[in-house]
A = this chain, B = another copy of it.
Amino acid sequence: MTTGYRHFYRGRRVMVTGGLGFIGSNLARQLVELGADVLLVDSLLPDYGGNRFNIAPFEQQVRVDTTDVRNREAMNTLVQHQDVIFNLAGQVSHIDSMRDPYADLDINCLSHLTLLEACRHHNPSVKVVYAGTRQIYGRPDSLPVNESHLVRPTDVNGINKAAGEQYHLVYNNVFGIRACSLRLTNVFGPRQLIRHNRQGFIGWFIRLALEGRTIQIYGDGAQLRDFVHVDDAADAFLRAGADDRCNGEVYNVGGTAPISHRDLTSMLLDAAGSGRVEYIEWPQEKKAIDIGSFFADSSKFTSATGWSPRIALRDGLAATLGFYREHFAHYVDAATAQEQA
């Protein structure tokens, strides 16, 4: 039954770490619709993506706790009686991780150990789904990339995200905390951070298009990427959380057909009706860490759960542009706009 996993959440106690962030808040919205008892944990660290406006339409239907996941005492209490934990808290900026690797280690390793230790000692029967990332693969040896590809991160953030994933698998295998990881490809959609350009390029490109500014593409823009809409990503979490066949596994959650930076940008500018594109030489330091083309093979996850991405890129972009047009001020404040312009 394809919708059984959605009924699973009725009346369930579900905690989402990073619940005020991009994916967390979109997942929370679906959980509320499905009748779950939702607790969102998010410390709203500046620049990380948490945003109270993300849950404005349903904030009366969830509980919010702004404790930091690294707070051991708090986590020991919060995990109790939860049925499912979607563990989405994290630092996602590659750039920030190279500027301050200590902070990245703290957020992307220590916080997951804290959560898992809390589960081990206070709620060992909970199910945990971790938000992994395709970034841990680094520069692919072949395409599409499946889960048997070597993990070879190109930055500190990727290393720590890989370690965070592996903690979940070890706690599954050794301590019986049911856990799995979804290695997400580039996710896009409403409620993504667009205040600065240090969290991946798709949100930033969307903002530049909306503001009528220039999108810079390095080289000829021929590199391929796959993109998944956040509603499809949230659906992947719901399926994994409801399915014990996923325990102890890692899954790619990839996007619709791969597309080049060049074609993506054309599609975006077309949908926005504003902005422009400029092709520039690769900056030396960017070229050094470029991974070339990447797109994921999600067939393992499709076989396990029936999931596949439903939302076409063009449709998703149009809807996303509409969302930000309507709520721009909640995502880009005037001071920041000037500073980054």
Output the least CB separation between A97 and chain B (Å).
10
Interface core residue of A117, A154, A159, A166 (most chain B CB under 10 Å): A166
CA distance A47 to B295 in the complex (A): 46
Contact A102 B98 (CB under 8 A): no
For A124-165 the 0/1 string (1 means CB < 8 A from B) is: 000000000000000000000000101111111001101100
B residues less than 8 Å from A170 (CB atoms): 153-156, 159
Given contacts A102-B113, A110-B102, A174-B98, contact A160 B163 (CB under 8 A): yes
B173 touches A154 (CB 8 A): yes
Closest to A153 in B: B166
Interface membership of A258, Cβ < 8 A:
no
A322 within 8 A of B: no
1/0 per residue A242-284: CB within 8 Å of B? Answer: 0000000000000000000000000000000000000000000
How far apart are A69's CB and chain B's nearest CB, in angstroms? 14
A113: chain B residues at CB < 8 Å are: 101-102, 105, 156
The yes or no answer to A215 lying at the interface (CB within 8 A) is no
Closest to A98 in B: B174
Q: Within residues 166 to 204 of chain A, which ones have a CB less than 8 A from any CB in chain B?
A: 166-167, 170, 173-174
- Whether the Cβ atoms of A105 and B110 lie closer than 8 Å is yes
A174 touches B110 (CB 8 A): no
- Distance in Å from the Cβ of A194 to the closest Cβ of chain B? 26
A335 within 8 A of B: no
Chain B positions within 8 Å of A109 at CB level: 105, 109, 163
In the complex, residue of chain B having the shortest beta-carbon distance to the beta carbon of A141: B148
Interface assignment of A288: CB less than 8 Å from any CB of chain B? yes
Nearest CB to that of A110 among chain B residues?
A: B105
Determine whether A337 belongs to the interface, using a CB cutoff of 8 Å to chain B.
Answer: no
Partner of A101, one of B98, B117, B289: B117
Give the residue name and chain of the B residue nearest to A148 (CB): B150
- With the chains together, A148 CA to B150 CA distance in Å? 7
The answer to whether B151 touches A174 (Cβ under 8 A) is no
Q: Which residues of B contact A105 (CB under 8 A)?
A: 105, 109-110, 113
A: residues with CB less than 8 A from B are 98, 101-102, 105, 109-110, 113, 117, 148, 150-156, 159-160, 162-163, 166-167, 170, 173-174, 288-289
Would you list the 7 A-B pairs with minimal beta carbon distance, nearest first? A159-B166, A163-B163, A101-B113, A159-B163, A105-B109, A153-B166, A155-B170
